[in-house]
Structures are given as structure tokens and as C-alpha cells.
Amino acid sequence: MHPAPSVIVFTTLSGLGFGLLAFLGLGLPDVSGMTAFVFFFIGYGLAIAGLLAATFHLGNKVNAHKAFSQWRTSWLSREGVCSVAALLVMAPYAIGRIFCDANWAILGWVGALLCLGTVFTTSMIYAQLKTVPRWNMRWTPALFLTHALAGGALLAGQISAAAILLALLGAVLAISWKQGDQRFEDTGTTLGTATGLDSIGTVRQLEPPHSGKNYLLKEMAFQVGRKHSAKLRAIALALGVIVPVLCLTVLPFSHGLALVAILSHLVGIMAGRWLFFAEAKHVVSLYYQS
Amino acid sequence: MTALPEAADKKLGLVIDLDTCVGCHACVVNCKEWNTSNYGNPLSDIDAYGAEPEGTFLNRVHAFEVTPDTGGCAQTIHFPKSCLHCEDAPCVTVCPTGASYKRVEDGIVLVNENDCMGCGLCAWACPYGARELDALAGIMKKCTLCVDRIYNENLPEEDREPACVRTCPAGARHFGDLGDPSSDVSKLVAEREGMDLMPEMGTKPVNKYLPPRQKDTLLADMALTPKSEEPKGFLAWLDKALEAL
């Protein structure tokens, strides 16, 4: 699948933002006044920046508001509804923390739940697609949720929680890669079943249907970068998980080091998310395989 | 709502005969012509007269080669591919805006272009590559089964079928109600063992493909034996004269 920068930025930033907001909703850390403002500003900033980035890949933005209408069937619509609900519920809770020195805990809990719901609905947009076997598994929502929780804990300054969740993220990443590598083969889909000609014999492409490119090839038959898969996985694991964990556990705590941990984590998960798209093979690419 | 209908009253669709298709691309051209000049946004082209032309098409003809496992001649299969108007169409349910829908009355899968936001998720959900986002309009385009022809009373009756079917010079494309077992298309599918593409994807396509008939195997005694003999008379003299030169 084509790793569109807008979608990579969207899923990583909004995941981090909603992860942080979820921790803030649970009162972790228990902040008020200016400190609370800074935390909520970062949380809202990341979540909204991510959501705005997502609109960049729309072909016809004027109809974007209609995306809230089909929550009964569409995960993308559910994500839209859930994200707006999360931001709206968290707003009065944030105001209470920042201006009234109050902890309206129930609002915070509901907000946190909606934040995680948003991350879950985002993950289901990918996990629901049978056409992309690598994504079509339970580990996809697990991956997105541990991403958001680990990044959120890191941003919320929850040192021990962040270390544990980051280690968990490393494990879930490794399992997702391993399981994902097998998924396409497991579906049994080949050019033979795609053309129905497997009943006769071995099928190969003789000629593509057109000499130029097309939307399908650009969007779904992305090839570049798969050869660097192993290196990128190592980078994602090293920068996204190992460096931040070392910063949090082995080295003495300082704000500078926390920033290093956060930036390293961000670069690492972006590399991982790039791979999430670049490595995913859509079944339609079989029709174009020479 | 982008929920699928419980059951469509009819299952209008195409039957494509892979044995007959000659790969002339007339269906591609006529589809593009009809659908760019009638319902909805036109099917745009980019760099149409340049070095790297590309554009939106609702129907494309692939070419595959299949080599029988049992031995024998390899066959070239021309393979037209367009929307299969699936009964369990994943492209419909993923749509967040309600633009994609499947009609109850005839099962045709359509996009309401006034509602489409161009997110492209429906194209991701389709295993067959039947949907293309138009680069200029930013709106998802797909086969409409020529919904503006098949019911169009301004057209002569023989033209009330999809443009690709009407134009096919080989008679490789058939249109009809696949939900009615007594229809011509259903009989054809039964007789020729029509098949689904990627049945494992669970989409239950309405369109069916008729498999190519197996070709003969070449036997040793079927090859022609050489008929030339030693030349006589004038030809013998010519032969000698030419060799002496």
C-alpha cells in the first residue's frame, strides 16, 4: 500500500495525542493550572494536528462533514464520531483542571475511554480489510492501542508505566511483523484464484492492461522499500522502544533526556508506521504481477 | 445508509466469456466514451497525448497466459475486469459518507457523487481493483452497469444494455438478471460452469466468468510431413546451374 505521508502523520500523531489525553483523563499526572494547560495543549495539539493531516488525502474535502453519518456500518465514520466526542468530552474536564483546580473524574474517565475508542476505531479501518491480509488480523488493533498507550505514558511522564508499556509495544510489534509476514499466504489468494484460471494450470501475466500508470498501481501496488524491511524494523524497534526504555530506566532522569526519549520514540514509530503501509500487499496487486 | 440490502430483487450483472474474448479493448473504449459523456463526472485523462498518458477507466482488459498442469499448449487469456456488483460488497459498508450504495431493486452498486469525499477507502476494500479515484474530480468512479442506458427509454431497445456488452464484436459479454435461474445469462453460467473471482474473499460477486475451453494437445503424428522431393527436368537443371555458380 502507498505510504501516504498524510496518513502516516495522522495515525502516529493522533495516536500519541489521544494516548496522552487518555492518561490525563485518568488523572495521570494529577496536574492543575499552567502545568495542566501545557499537558492538555500538547494532547489536543497532537490529536487535532493528526486529524487535520488525515483530511489532506481526501479528494473532495467539501463532503468531509458527511463522514459522521454512517457510524452504523463504517469504521471510518465511527472514528470520526469517536474522535469528536473524545475531544468534546475532554474539553470541560481540561477546563476544570486548568482554571477551576477541579477534578471532574467521571468526565475524565469517559473522555479517556473515548480517546482509546478513537484509537481502536482507527485501527479497525485497517484491520477490517480482507483485501490487505497483513492488516486483517487482531494484532492490528492491539498494535495501535499499545502504540497510543506507550506513547501517551511517555508524554504524560509516567516513567514506570511508560517503560512497561514500551516493552509491551516492542513485543506486540515483533509479533505483528511475524504474524503479518504469513497472512497473505494464509488467505490462499493467488493469481490463479484471482482469475479463476487455476483450474487449468499455472497463470502468469502476459501483458498489463495499459502501458501507463493508474490509480490502482499508485495506491495499492507500492513496491519500493520492502527490500529494506529488516533494517527499518530494526530502526523502529531501536528508536521507538529500546532508546526510550533505556532513557527511562538506566539513565538518571532529566527533562532533556525525557525529550530525547520522546523524539526518538516519535521517529521510531514513524519508521514502523511507514513500514506498516509499505509492506502491506493488497490482493489487487496480483493482477499486475509479472 | 451504507448498509447492504437484505436481498436485492434482481441481480443484474455481466457474464464474461474468457473463451471468446479476443482482447480487442472495444469494451474499454466504449465504456470510457459512454461514461465520460453521460452520468456523473467525466473520466479524466492526464497527459493524454504525452509520453506517459494515464486516466480513469471503469473496465480494463488484462492478458494472462495459462499453462496446463497436465501438459499441452499454453493459452493466452484476455481478461476484462470491471465491477462485479458483489452481493456482499465490502466497498459499500466501509463508506463513511453514505455515497456508496447497493440498489435494492436490481443490485447495482453505485456511488452518489454528491456525497463522496474521495477518501479512497472503498477502493482499498475492493479485491478486484474495480474502483478508481478520478485524479481531476477527486471522486470515486466505478462501473454503473450503464444504469443510464439499461432503463433509458430514449434509446432503441437493442441499445438498452451496458456499453461494453453492446459493442463487443466477439459476443464475449452478456448482460442479464443472474438472480433469475431461467434467464439466458443464468443458463449460460450453468451450462459453462461460470466461476467467481477470488471466492475466498467472501464478496459473492454477481458477475460470472466463463472459463476458457481446454485446447487440444499436439500429438506427434499431427505435424505435417515434408513433401519436397528431388527436382526433375528444368528445376533440376536450374538447381545444378545455381550450385555451380
Report the half-sphere exposure of B70 (CA within 13 A, side-chain side). Answer: 8
Q: Over the stretch A152-205, which tens digit does the pLDDT of each residue have?
A: 999 999 999 999 999 999 999 999 999 999 999 999 999 999 999 999 999 999
Indicate the average pLDDT of chain A. Answer: 93
CB contact (8 A) between residue B116 and residue A131: no
CB contact (8 A) between residue A212 and residue B54: yes
If you measure CA to CA, which chain A residue comes closest to B3? A73
Give the CA distances from residue B210 to residues A6, B19, B58, B61, B95, in Å, rounded to whole numbers and listed in that order.
42, 7, 20, 15, 31
Q: Residue B170: pLDDT above 60?
A: yes
Burial of residue A34 (CB within 10 Å: 0-12, 13-18, 19+) is exposed
Judging contacts by C-beta atoms under 8 Å, the chain A residues touching residue B54 are 210, 212-214
On whether any CB of chain B is under 8 Å from the CB of A132, the answer is yes
For residue A165, the distance in angstroms to the closest alpha carbon of chain B comes to 31
On whether any CB of chain A is under 8 Å from the CB of B211, the answer is yes
Q: Which chain B residues in 74-133 lie under 8 Å from chain A, judged by CB atoms?
A: 75-77, 79, 81, 90, 93-99, 114-121, 123-129, 132-133
For residue B34, the distance in angstroms to the closest alpha carbon of chain A comes to 19
Structural domain boundaries in chain A: 5-288
What percentage of residues in chain B have a pLDDT greater than 90?
79
Average pLDDT over residues B85-109: 96
Cell 523502529 belongs to residue: A236
Q: 3-state class of A204 per DSSP?
A: strand
CB neighbourhood size of A186 (10 A): 11
Q: Residue B236: pLDDT above 70?
A: yes
What percentage of residues in chain A have a pLDDT greater than 70?
98
Using 50, 70 and 90 to split pLDDT, how confident is the model at B178? very high
Q: Over the stretch B11-41, which tens digit does the pLDDT of each residue have?
A: 999 999 999 999 999 999 999 999 999 889 9
Among A51, A73, A205, most B C-beta atoms within 10 A, so best to mutate, is A73
What is the pLDDT, as a whole number, of residue A167? 97
Q: Residue A98: pLDDT above 60?
A: yes
| Phi, psi dihedral angles at B75 (to 5 degrees) | -115, 145
Structural domain boundaries in chain B: 12-216
Q: Map chain B to HEC letters.
A: CCCCCCCCCCCEEEEEECCCCCCCCHHHHHHHHHHHHCCCCCCCEECCCCCCCEECCCEEEEEEEEEECCCCCCEEEEEEEECCCCCCCHHHHCCCCCCEEECCCCCCEEECCCCCCCCCHHHHHCCCCCCEECCCCCCEECCCCCHHHHCCCCCCHHHCCCHHHHHCCCCCEEEEECCCCCCHHHHHHHHHCCECCCHHHCCCCCCEEECCCCCCCCCHHHCCCCCCCCCCHHHHHHHHHHHHC
On whether any CB of chain B is under 8 Å from the CB of A290, the answer is no
Judging contacts by C-beta atoms under 8 Å, the chain A residues touching residue B115 are 63, 66
What is the pLDDT, as a whole number, of residue B119? 95
Say how many CB pairs under 8 Å bridge A and B. Answer: 206
Q: Element (H or E) spanning A79, and its range?
A: helix A75-99
What is the pLDDT, as a whole number, of residue A225? 62
Among the partner residues A66, A203, A216, nearest to B129 by beta-carbon distance: A216
- Given a contact cutoff of 8 angstroms between Cβ atoms, the answer to whether B129 and A284 are in contact is yes
- Residue A238 DSSP one-character state: I
Q: Which chain A residues in 247-286 lie under 8 Å from chain B, judged by CB atoms?
A: 282-284
Q: How far apart are CA B91 and CA B101, in angstroms?
A: 9
Give the CA distances from residue A274 to residues A7, A10, A34, A279, in Å, rounded to whole numbers and listed in that order.
9, 12, 35, 8
- Residues 6 or more apart whose Cβ sits within 8 Å of residue B7: none
Q: How far apart are CA A142 and CA B40, in angstroms?
A: 41
On whether any CB of chain A is under 8 Å from the CB of B152, the answer is no
Indicate the average pLDDT of chain B. Answer: 93
CB contact (8 A) between residue B120 and residue A219: yes
Q: Residue B110: pLDDT above 90?
A: yes
On whether any CB of chain A is under 8 Å from the CB of B136, the answer is no
What is the pLDDT, as a whole number, of residue B233? 87
Q: How far apart are CA A116 and CA A19, in angstroms?
A: 7
- Given a contact cutoff of 8 angstroms between Cβ atoms, the answer to whether A167 and A242 are in contact is no
User: C-alpha grid cell for residue B170?
Assistant: 466477439
Q: Residue A103: pLDDT above 70?
A: yes
What is the pLDDT, as a whole number, of residue A224? 59
Q: How far apart are CA A132 and CA A280, in angstroms?
A: 6
CB contact (8 A) between residue A74 and residue B63: no
Using 50, 70 and 90 to split pLDDT, how confident is the model at A6? confident
For residue B161, the distance in angstroms to the closest alpha carbon of chain A comes to 24
CATH number of B12-216: 3.30.70.20
- Given a contact cutoff of 8 angstroms between Cβ atoms, the answer to whether B198 and B52 are in contact is no
Q: Residue A81: pLDDT above 70?
A: yes
Q: Which of A141, A119, A121, A137 is nearest to A129 (CA)?
A: A137
Among B27, B31, B65, B69, most A C-beta atoms within 10 A, so best to mutate, is B65
For residue B239, the distance in angstroms to the closest alpha carbon of chain A comes to 45
For A150-154, B54-58, B203-207, B219-223, which range has the lowest pLDDT when averaged over its residues?
B219-223
Q: Element (H or E) spanning A194, and its range?
A: helix A191-195
Torsion of CA A4, A8, A11, A13, to 10 degrees: -130
On whether any CB of chain A is under 8 Å from the CB of B243, the answer is no
Q: Residue B154: pLDDT above 80?
A: yes
On whether any CB of chain B is under 8 Å from the CB of A204, the answer is yes
Q: Over the stretch A221-261, which tens digit does the pLDDT of each residue have?
A: 766 567 788 999 999 999 999 999 999 888 887 888 999 99
Using 50, 70 and 90 to split pLDDT, how confident is the model at A290? low
> Helices then strands (H, E): number in chain A?
11, 1
Which CATH superfamily is A5-288 part of?
Formate dehydrogenase/DMSO reductase domain (1.20.1630.10)
Among A68, A81, A131, A135, most B C-beta atoms within 10 A, so best to mutate, is A131
User: C-alpha grid cell for residue B137?
Assistant: 474530480
If you measure CA to CA, which chain A residue comes closest to B79? A195
Give CA angle at A273 (A272, A277), nearest 5°: 115
Of how many residues is chain A composed?
Answer: 290
